[in-house]
Amino acid sequence: MNPVHFYKMSGCGNDFIIIDNRRSVIEESALTAFIVGICRRKMSVGADGVILIENSDTVDFRWRFYNSDGSVAEMCGNGARCVARFAYLNGITGPELAFETLAGIVSASVSETGMVKIKMTDPVNLEHDRRIILTSGKYAVGSVNTGVPHVVMVVEDIQRTPVKEMGREIRFHPDFAPAGTNANFVALQPDNIVAIRTYERGVEDETLACGTGCVASALIVSHKFALPSPVTLLTRSDGYLRIFFTAHQDTFSDVYMEGDARLIYRAELCEEAWHDGYTG
């Protein structure tokens, strides 16, 4: 491959490499190794995921979203905000846009300040007070698919919660096999702000933020504590996301997420950026 132009962007601390692939600049045969290679921290650019913008026959564009391990994810809220601003900054769209994801069509509105508001797909498979058994005991959790599957556990001390250990156990729990799930831990703070920490499937570690996890947590917590829309969440990066929704008896609709989409830098990837991960 020739050098590949890209943007490095961050949504609330969740960072992405975004590439305009409408002219097929990425070789499909080397795609997985390419993604894993460039997502390596310290050895390459480093990122939680890679987003490819491609042509769409129905809306402004479609995306392909990949976790840092090369696996495909249907949806990523923080990534959606970043790709929307990327498209706007590069003249691919105007400030109001829509794009295809595996979870459905996502619409977005980009402001001049760098804030982006996106309309999420309607949540499905919502369960409250679901019982699961972990090595440390029995727990009641909420679960919902907000584009990707999430489990939400309310905890008393968000700082001392062993997110990586419990998160990994929930992520690979047989109750959520074979696809697995993301795991979110939340605690209600003063002024009804919800502190959140997330173990992300595909990254296989705690991340600084997870957009779809914030949506899932806002919906579960709003039901549990009777919080009205919008719900504000404080992520591990100390950034805030606001989740808007319409609540019904058994589900939610008109779900929106609002937060930042920071442009970190623009550059080009040279072959050495992914060479060690290249397998031919």
Residues designated catalytic: 76, 210
- Peptide bond preceding 174 in cis form (omega within 30 of 0): no
CB burial of 223-257 (b: ≥16 within 10 Å; e: otherwise) equals bbeebebbbbbbbbbebbbbbbbebeeeebeebbb
| Residue type at 42 in one-letter notation | K
